[in-house]
Amino acid sequence: MTQEVRAAGAVLWRVAGGETEVALVHRPRYDDWSLPKGKLDPGETIAEAAVREVREETGFTAVLGRYLTRSAYPVPSKNGAGTVPKTVDYFAAEAVSGKFTPNDEVDELRWLEPSAAEKALTRPEDVRVLRSFCELPVGLTTVLLVRHAKAGKRDEWSGDDDLRPLSEAGQRQAAALRRVLTLFGPSRVLSAPRLRCVQTVHGVAEDVGTEVRHEPLLSEEGYWPDPVLGVARLLALAGDGGTPVVCSQGGVIPDLVSALADRDGVEIPAARAGVVPSKKGSFWVLSFRRPTTKEGPLLMAADYHPSALPAPSPSHS
């Protein structure tokens, strides 16, 4: 059986002198200029691998944003008999701290404006990734919209359904979400007032150093009497800035994401036959243009991550 090689990377960016710059790395082993990337470690998600590889190759700590694209190409197999497929999943990632130091993998780093970076890149695959990055502006506001983790079957719980807790599987999902959502730089944590929802993101709130705040309009019984109010509430959270984590329910998330996408003309490739997915323990990375004085936040991209556990790459817009 052919074993696929999985890797992840990022277009690492910063703003310097009012201009956007992206990081290119020179790898002496290949004598090429590349975007930072590398193979997944065992048990690692693509998001975790992207941040780790950026740190190892560039010395910079990165905060992830939207998912960009996947590159796929053959590479020589370990035994030298033919080739095996390799896939590399890329994110946009802002450099927030750090300093480059030459290392075994990378001997030089250059910060270049995107047009200059495109000319300097060695491989056409990297040029395609960079162009995907350039399709939208930098500095977008991220909202992390989370479906609560598994909580067992409703008909097997005799108590108040609002108090139905996470199952053991749900606790594992919540722990995985805690690791992965942190990579997107969350600033505050909100949740539908259900124990299973609050438990799903409680660890993230601990890491941020805050409490989980209840959002009744984003629970099923709070949303459906007037969905317009629920959509407006999410837009208000996006307009407040930072990177909010919002945990909601499967009866809300598909309609909420669809309403935002329809409102702002964003396609959702993750949808199948018109159905927007929302598995337990999954999350959406919603990228909004920051509000101006004339209008509120505008949805620019919606990326679906079906699991925070090691899984295939997200579908994205």
| Boundary of a domain, candidates 112, 134, 156 | 134
In a domain, 201, yes or no: yes
In a domain, 314, yes or no: no
* pTM, entire model: 0.94
Average pLDDT, the chain: 93
11-15, 73-77, 95-99, 217-221: least confidently modelled range: 73-77
Band of the pLDDT at 156, cuts 50, 70, 90? Answer: low
Answer yes or no: is pLDDT of 310 > 90. Answer: no
Task: Judge if 146 and 277 occupy the same domain.
Answer: yes
| Boundary of a domain, candidates 89, 116, 134 | 134
Answer yes or no: is pLDDT of 6 > 90. Answer: yes
Task: Output the domain CATH number for residue 146.
Answer: 3.40.50.1240
Collect contacts of 80-84 with beta carbons under 8 A, ≥24 apart: 84/2, 84/3, 84/4, 84/5
Answer yes or no: is pLDDT of 268 > 80. Answer: yes
Task: Judge if 125 and 151 occupy the same domain.
Answer: no
pLDDT attached to residue 77: 83
| Boundary of a domain, candidates 134, 151, 180 | 134
DSSP, residue by residue, 119-178: HH-S-HHHHHHHHHHHTS-SSPEEEEEEE------GGG--S-GGGPPP-HHHHHHHHHHH
pLDDT attached to residue 315: 59
Task: Judge if 148 and 290 occupy the same domain.
Answer: yes
Domain that holds residue 151: 141-305
Residues 60-83 have a mean pLDDT of 90
Band of the pLDDT at 155, cuts 50, 70, 90? Answer: low
What is the tally of structural domains in the chain? 2
